[in-house]
Structure 1
Amino acid sequence: MKECGEKESVFLTCERNWVYFALIGVAGFWGAYTYLLRGNVFCNAQTGNVVLMGLALGAGQWRAALYYLVPISAYILGAFVSELAPNPIKHRFRVRWDTVLMLLEMLTVLCLGFVPLSAPEQIAQVVINFVASMQYNTFRQAQGIPVATTFATNHIRQIGIGLAKEIRHRHSSDKSHREKLTRHAQMLFFFAAGATAGSLCCHLWAEKGIWVTLVPLGVIFGALLYADLTTERALVEQKPAGH
């Protein structure tokens, strides 16, 4: 028990597994929200937008093709901001960028709940693109294991890899791959759970259903802020793994 506690203590609060499970659950919820209510698109990643832009270009639909540069640019901007913001934030305010990002996400979710369904779909799409990009670029490793908190493709791939290793090492005492396999399976589960919750809440409360994600985001924000101001105050200069 002591060894386990000592091992876990090297990780910052912003690297804890439960934070990542909550974040990918929120991302799954947002995926359901944008697909059901904001134009039948998934805004957590940009593969679809790049493909749609290519289709529009191939069909000679120049205006439609140019539109896709808007969400793609919003995603680029999110990565740009989240890459430059951490040092100025922690040096000036003595709190981590991860904590500030949670506050920004909460404010974003609060505002989106007031945007009526009659408003242009692009408003919510671009906002989610921007915020999802910042989250993806900020939270990179859950207790030492690289994971994504905004989409599921890599988790599905890693589960396949883990199962292959399970067969390869079935007669070996080396079971080190199991921790990684389990982590990715857990991330996939919480993403699916978030999408399921998003579907239910959007059908019940329409655009205001997104406010449900204020709960997990608020819990994460409170935990990160407490750590910044108390238990991890002296570790503000320590970078989370993967940065």
Structure 2
Amino acid sequence: MEKETAVQMSERFRVGALLAMAGGLLDAYTYVMRGGVFANAQTGNIVLLGVRAIEGEWGGVLHYLLPILAFAVGVIAAELIKGKFRYAQPVHWRQISLGIELAVLLCVAFLPQALDALANVAVSFVCAVQVESFRKVHGNAFATTMCTGNLRSGTEQLYQFLRTGQRDHLRRAVQYGGIILSFIVGAALGAWCSGLLGLRTVAVACIPLFIALCLMRANKTAL
């Protein structure tokens, strides 16, 4: 079993769980408060884009196309940050990614309902930066802004445990389950806060992101 001291802080479960919580909250926020758009699950947006296209609702096509394009731009932005700041000191490139996420989300909190399209673009961009910057937990591939891959991998690890009895497979299955649960908690929190805070709910996602940033800053030797 891999020792925690050998694992980068950005790949530790506690950071992954915090990021997944933020991811779930953001998806619920854009769906509930910003016109039924999925900030993270671009598959859903692509399906809805196709439906609107066949219906001839070109305004609806643009409604879903913009966050899809923003997600692609976010992936490119994360790669550019990594390429430029990969060996930067004392600030790690993943900390820069989190800093950008925090700044963008705080701006989104003040966008009025009339600018839902811009809000969805910004949140989709943030989610792409996150999913591209944080891709592993304890060396295993994870996603902190969507659950399909995690569900598949977690179920596979559970099956391997039942087949072989090796506890390492069970540990990984539990980790995947924990990330999924954190995402669900974040989504539930986002839906609940939407009824209380309205458009400002997006700022709540900054809390787990800021905690994750502090954890990374506190452990500079294992980012």
Q: Could you state the TM-score of these two structures normalised by the residue count of structure 1?
A: 0.83
Q: Is the 8 A contact 1:44 1:129 kept in 2?
A: yes
2:16 to 14, 20, 24: 20
Structure 1 gaps of 5+ residues are: none
Max radius of gyration: which structure? 1
| Structure 2 Cα separation of the partners of residues 206 and 61 of structure 1 | 28
Q: 1:1-243 residue pairs with structure 2 within 5 A?
A: 7-91=3-87, 94-116=90-112, 118-169=113-164, 173-228=165-220, 232=221
C-alpha distance in 1 between matches for 2:51 and 2:86? 43
Is the CA contact 2:136–2:142 (under 8 Å) kept in the aligned structure 1?
A: yes
- Tell me the CA shift for residue 201 of structure 1: 1.2
Report if the CA contact (8 A) 1:79-1:134 is conserved: yes
Report the 3-state secondary structure (helix = DSSP H, G, I; strand = E; otherwise coil) of the residue aligned with 2:167.
Answer: coil
Give me the identity figure in percent.
30
Task: State the 1:208 CA deviation.
Answer: 1.5
Distance 1:28 1:70 in 2: 20
CA shift for structure 1 position 91: 4.5
Aligned partners of 1:147 and 1:155 also within 8 Å: yes
Cα 1:209/1:62, change in 2 over 3 Å? closer
**Secondary structure of the structure 2 residue equivalent to 1:85:** helix
User: Contact 1:78 / 1:133 at 8 angstroms: preserved in 2?
Assistant: yes
Gaps of 5+ in 2: none
How far apart are residue 161 of structure 1 and its match?
2.2
Instruction: Work out whether residues 22 and 206 of structure 2, in 8 Å CA contact, stay in contact via their aligned partners in 1.
Output: no
CA, structure 1 residues 13+74, in 2 after alignment: closer, same or farther (shift >3 Å)?
Answer: same
Q: CA deviation at 1:46?
A: 0.8
Say if 2:63 and 2:117, in contact at 8 Å, map to a contact too. Answer: no
Q: Distance in 1 between matches of 2:161 and 2:82?
A: 39
The alpha carbon displacement at 1:176 in A equals 2.8
1:189 is displaced (CA, Å) by 0.7
More helix by share: 2
| Count of equivalent residues | 223
**1:127 corresponds to which letter in structure 2?**
A
The answer to whether the 8 Å contact 1:28/1:192 transfers is yes
Measured on the aligned residues, the alpha-carbon RMSD in Å equals 2.1
For 1:223 and 1:162, locate their aligned partners in 2 and report how far apart those are by CA, in whole Å: 28
- TM-score normalised by length of structure 2: 0.90
What is the CA distance between 1:150 and its match in structure 2?
0.1
